[in-house]
Structure 1
């Protein structure tokens, strides 16, 4: 910012510090208030991922449901007799400037799981989103919920424009349960092949 004063004769004193500071503060306040005008603005960013626009993940899992798979923790570490196909409804982080997400504290949340009786191919076709599907398969030491949220972070982080699916196999989510997790991953191999085909 440039503050100009009219040319003065040498006999006049230079502007006082107080006058100079008053001018700077009033200009700074105007700039600060102008910057606050959009702080509460919400809406979908132009480069948002498909998941941010429609926060629904497709789920295939070989985990055994807990309480019918309709309440938290939804699916446990035990192996199921059949693979479950479901939709995971998520809550996207609030992207407005006054939200917790703006300072790194807001995050994706898993809201509910809706088991469906459709074939995987039919479910993907029903949801639209083009022909692109991102299939996320978690690794060792993961709960069902952390696997779903990791898939959401990946999909949103790369601004993926198609549908996102998570394949979750039974993991005990414990540091010393690697052998069980390895066996569960191998046990789930045939179901994963079905998902891919």
Structure 2
């Protein structure tokens, strides 16, 4: 059975077979049958972790333990509202925290997670999206373009589908777009945080 634990840039948690490069944690979301319940989070500390850390290992979706979620790459995880883990990704966490706090004037991790929670989901649990001029968005931001999630990187829009970046089109010079990545995280990207890209994106980009 393909488990429902792959997270898309649109915030959807799907049952797909692609292998991600990061694991996420929002708390316990599954039951003993390894199926997701109604809740899509049980705490506001949405983190992304390395797939391997020290010698830690356990079966996925163990009863009474947090639900392992998986992301294609960090840009996808940021769009879904996650941030780096302070334990297994301490260097990335420190860089993200520095950029996020400078951009959003939060003073500590509690304020950061509170602001992220407010900016990523609506009261009905849907992803919170907003409009912005494309010319103001930094590399690493996800937008909806032609009803599909696309990553802004350099002068391109990269289509994300089926567990990979599959094609690119030129990035429009200006105009309003629907942004998937939460606004405070976009601000952190604009302040210099550089997310890791999946190798399929690098195959589409010029060297």
Question: Normalising by structure 1, what TM-score?
Answer: 0.26
Larger fraction in helix: 1
Bigger radius of gyration among the two: 1
What's the TM-score once normalised by structure 2's chain length? 0.25
